Structure 1
Amino acid sequence: MQQAIPFKEFWAWLAEHPNCILRAGSTDSVVYDDDDYHWLFAEEDAHTLLIQVMRGKRPVAEFFVEPAHVSSVRVSAGERGEFNFDLVTEIHGQVQVIFYFVLSHGLEEAADKPDEEQRSSGRLH
């Protein structure tokens, strides 16, 4: 079952769950999470958000997202218990995914789990 949420709501939620990201990417690139990586979220400027994947102090990858171009975020169940978060836009009347995140849990699941259960699941929030 798919649902759509506003990008602003998703961004705030995602920034609280960086350790739950399994992979992220666009049509031409993908970055897979690793135990040595950590994800940072920032505003590059008033119109651009920055996602950095770091290994220690060294950047592994950077992604830029322009919220004005994101119509909404589609949320759907993925394979092997994963959850897909597709940032979509409309171009010439066609809905297209411009960026995506795959997380180890969905929106409701994270809200329902007590903190101790989240820690014992192997992925800290």
Structure 2
Amino acid sequence: MWIESIIMPREDDSAPYVPAPQRDRRSGLPVAMAESRRLRDAVQSFVSAHDLSDGVKWLSEPGILPLLTIHCTDFALTKLREATDFVVGCAAPIDAYPALVGTHGPMAAELLGTTAPSLERRCV
């Protein structure tokens, strides 16, 4: 079973919080994108170093936020959570998505309840 997970860099809690000074946001964008790229490189190197390539189906591209989405197996998720460079959370098993978004099936009927027949009539 594939699991969708969220990965973020681990924060250092040893220093007290100091708000950042106001600055031009345009100069912060390249820095944020570089941090996101470093996070993705760290995750990729961890996956290859621990031979988890078969347990990872998909890894999102870096963006503005230092945040990645990964589709992996339960074993790979357990190993990624042991890493010290980043924090890994779990969103949901990917198998759960089709049942929630589909219009047919036992779960969709339970969620829609008595409104399902009226919705089906409108869609036809």
- Provide the TM-score with structure 1 as the length reference: 0.26
Structure with more strand by fraction = 1
Q: TM-score, normalized by length of structure 2?
A: 0.26
Quick check: which one's helix share is greater? 2
Greater RCO, CA 8 A, separation 6+: 2
Larger of the two Rg values belongs to structure: 2
